[in-house]
Amino acid sequence: MAPVRRRRGACSRPCSRSVHPNPEAAMRRQPSERGAALVTMLFLMLALLMMSLSSTRAALAGARSARYERDRQVAHAAAEAALRDAERDIEGAAGPASPRTAIFTALDADAFDQRCSGRAEKTGLCKPAKGAAAPAWQAADLAEAGVEYGRFSGRTLPTGSGSLPATAPRYLVELLPASPPAAQPLFRITALGVGADAATVVVLQSYYRRATGTIPAKRLGWREIANWPELHRAASN
């Protein structure tokens, strides 16, 4: 009797096949899982985009801050140059025969105006305000009433291109009352400097003692007036 051949894959015993109890549910779950994966990927991409935008904004803000600080240094240097130019002016840089020098030599108080409105050799010369009035250096428009750098000293300061100041710095000089009356004359200098961007402004102020006899000239101190624009607007109202 010929042996019985079994078909390949046939079971030697009753076979049991795994049949999903609900084929339709399995088919529905596959698209749902793919949709969840897509949503997750979209959220990840959105998070990466937000991180990239945040980094870009931070980099731009840092660059703007660095540019402003560099421009502020330019304005500060210009204002300091104006302080030194004012000191030369007080010491007679205009020359011994100049009416400007005569004002400082004779301490002609009438040449100093409370509104800083003098012209010609009296430009930029101020008297301290009286009473409750705002100080002359606050009320006056430094850009208009101030002495342009080099006007009386003959010096020049490059301006107007690249990282140079947009305009020449300016200064005012106030003659302060002597205390006691026989003391050396004391001047208050207020200088305005701008950066390569004319909107960047630095205002410096110093107290200067003019040379008298054997006593040398001396800057007694200086400060930056960071809120000068606000003070000037308040004094102008």
Q: Any idea where the domains of the chain sit in the sequence?
A: 62-236
> How far, rounded to the nearest angstrom, does the alpha carbon of residue 96 sit from its chain's CA centroid?
40
The per-residue pLDDT for 126 is: 96
Contact 205, 220 (CB under 8 A): no
The per-residue pLDDT for 32 is: 65
pLDDT at 230 over 70: yes
pLDDT at 106 over 80: yes
Q: Could you check whether the bond before residue 180 is cis, i.e. omega within 30 degrees of 0?
A: yes
Mean pLDDT of 89-113: 95
Top-confidence residue, 211 or 122: 122
Top-confidence residue, 62 or 186: 186
pLDDT at 137 over 80: yes
The per-residue pLDDT for 14 is: 53
CA quadruple 107, 110, 111, 117: dihedral sign: positive
Contact 170, 82 (CB under 8 A): yes
The per-residue pLDDT for 182 is: 59
- For 221, the 3-state DSSP assignment is strand
pLDDT at 10 over 60: no
Per the confidence metrics, is the pTM higher than 0.85?
no
C-alpha pair distances (Å), 7 with each of 2, 12, 79 = 15, 10, 104
The per-residue pLDDT for 58 is: 80
| CB burial string 162-200: b at 16+ within 10 A, e below | eeebbbbbbbbbbbeeeeeeeeebbbbbbbbbbbbeeeb
The per-residue pLDDT for 173 is: 98
Based on its alpha-carbon atoms, the radius of gyration of the chain, rounded to whole angstroms, reads: 40
What are 191's strand-pairing partners? 171, 204
CA quadruple 189, 221, 194, 225: dihedral sign: negative
pLDDT at 64 over 80: no
